[in-house]
A and B are shown apart, each in its own frame.
Chain A
């Protein structure tokens, strides 16, 4: 039982990693990027290529592709999203969906139907584990992925709250025109935000490849997981994303205990329940962080 819970929290770390880029784009640019999962798989393939052809460790590989994906994100914002957003809130959905189809099928054309994994390139790390009291073994890799998620979420959160760039990005998110009036270069801020989001996607793509296998069409489920984690978490704060990701992973893990097909179903159902509860609490939207905080206060009093 405890073992399942611990494994689920670690899986939640991966979901937080994949969701933070999506949530960040959503918060800052009001855009849900449907090519999010496809971009993660692109990163995984790029790192796999580096590892397969040049024997480069995936951990070095991810450092190399970070700038590449950053530039890709900046281009995505400049060439596509900027134009699409001007046409209303629906066009970005359609544009990025088209991009996802193009990327998925190009990867299929290039790499075929075989599944790939990055785990053969990291030696013993893929099965090494920490031993906890009570005969519980915790894989080192999932722990590192959870730590990476915490570092990235914390970094993004600090950057948004404490730095000049973060203030510019938040100002652009709130109102690009007014932000422009007071001297914020809104195009630059949006471009940088997109680049940052896509860099987190690169990390999550590598995590996907390290944890297991992937193929050209693996992007769609990753997008759904990221989306569910974001919505369950309330889509308001980045830390909400972490909680949403863990809730999703716990639901999936317990679903899998109940029925062999229950893994996906468990996650989807929790997502629906959260949507439903949020609607019945309409007006007071379900922000899990707030509820936790207020119950925490209640307990202290």
Chain B
């Protein structure tokens, strides 16, 4: 009997991922401005999906209020940039502040269960929205923009934001992957499967949930700051819209709740759906809601979960697999 983590598929995946990332990093060298901007959007979607998945898929914490972190990430960036900090430094620092804030929130939010937590987060997002509106710098719903980015020429700016988004995405995914493979990550997956049972074998659910809550707060704030850099305008209404969480839920449910690969797959599918169907306006949103609803009813583990149970392939291995020497005993 042998115990191992890596399979030839996962090794191949990592090699391929490294090649793809290298190619992506070189994209600004030959691609048009439009392509660079669309790819930046895709990276932001991957971050959003992966962070929502970290909370819901691994922590069992379904949040309808992740626009809280998204909006605050953008707002903090505006505030810090207004204080004279370089806009890119403001993005990182702002996300750090949001991470600190989410630690504070976790002290009481994590005591709520299931639906209570879900809507409680929504209420928090609404509070943050109202408070941001009170800030004279923002001018209420009129909003403002990240003026200090104008110091960069438009082409250079586009490429810088692209790289920032790429580094943000890779960094956050690597962080999540690393955390999920630590004892805390295993604990988180144990909590996802059965909280009482995990508690009884010595997992501290609160500590582990808090870790993921802060990680999700940080990552989603990074995504908000990147989005702000990309579109430059900040209107509280658009950033604190529940629509963002609807997108996250769609991506994760379709890709695979609680599957590391699932969030990435979901973001790709959402990106494709947006590219093709966003022109249809309201029907596009109806379609997103309907697909999310059908997946949660009939395929709650999403497309990747379905592939995984069929083929036993794990491209990004988080657990260990046991292989028996005799053929007949093989399998999980």
Contacts and interface: CB of A to CB of B under 8 A. Distances in A.
A109 B253 contact: no
Contact of B119 (A84, A106, A223): A223
B300 A231 contact: no
Contact of B118 (A87, A93, A282): A93
A91 B246 contact: no
A190 B292 CA distance: 24
A298 B286 CA distance: 55
Given A32-B116, A275-B108, A90 B249 contact: no
A228 B123 contact: yes
Contact of A268 (B56, B126, B134, B283): B126
Contacts of A4: none
Contacts, number: 115
Given A34-B64, A99-B289, A271 B123 contact: yes
A268 B123 contact: yes
A108 interface: yes
A264 B126 contact: yes
A227 B64 CA distance: 13
Given A100-B289, A105-B285, A275 B120 contact: yes
B282 interface: yes
Interface string A85-106: 0010111111101111110011
B285 A101 contact: yes
A100 B292 CA distance: 11
A122 interface: no
B310 interface: no
B115 A93 contact: yes
Contacts of A100: 289
Given A93-B114, A97-B64, A105 B282 contact: yes
A98 B249 CA distance: 9
> Which residue, of A224, A275, A282, has the highest number of chain B Cβ atoms within 10 A?
A275
Interface in B242-263: 242, 246, 249, 253
Contacts of A125: none
A102 B282 CA distance: 10
Interface in B5-60: 56, 60
B316 interface: no
A279 to B, nearest CB: 5
A80 B297 contact: yes
A105 B289 contact: yes
B123 A224 contact: yes
A87 B300 contact: yes
Contacts of B108: 275-276, 279
> Which residue, of A84, A92, A98, A259, has the highest number of chain B Cβ atoms within 10 A?
A98
B296 A84 contact: yes
A-B residue pairs, 6 tightest by C-beta: A101-B289, A32-B115, A98-B293, A102-B289, A98-B292, A89-B114
Given A34-B119, A97-B249, A224-B119, 14 more contacts: A80-B297, A90-B60, A90-B114, A94-B253, A97-B292, A98-B290, A102-B289, A105-B282, A105-B283, A223-B119, A231-B116, A265-B130, A275-B112, A275-B120
